[in-house]
Structure 1
Amino acid sequence: MPVEASLLEILACPACHAPLTDRTAADPAELVCTSADCELAYPVRDGIPVLLVDEATPKGTPTA
């Protein structure tokens, strides 16, 4: 389930405050930080972004 565009516009990475990109078409669904220094991936569960740094993984790391 994709994250609504209007919600994605106001969300930011909790770690570095950079914008997030939507990768909900991927399996597992995630929002990825756009900062080259951070690049954390936050899971999306049941259409709800889990924006907790403790739940994030480095981009490209499987979360399942």
Structure 2
Amino acid sequence: MRRVVFAARLLTPRDVRCRTFTAYASFFRPDAYDADEVDEFMDEAETTITVLCREILELRRQVACG
């Protein structure tokens, strides 16, 4: 059985639920967020989703092969 180990820390549902971003008011948007913080979080979310999708595919292959 092949097992892939990932060094990246995956986000948990709690990480997503509790994540906050620096908010500030600007002339054009009274509810703006720090774009760099949001981009970093999106990168973390992408990594987590990618890893979990790969793991699901691998597990499905294992089940299909018996």
**TM-score, normalization by structure 1:** 0.25
- Greater Rg, structure 1 or structure 2? 2
Q: Which has the higher helix share?
A: 2
The structure where strand makes up a greater share of residues is: 1
Task: Using structure 2 for the length normalisation, give the TM-score.
Answer: 0.25
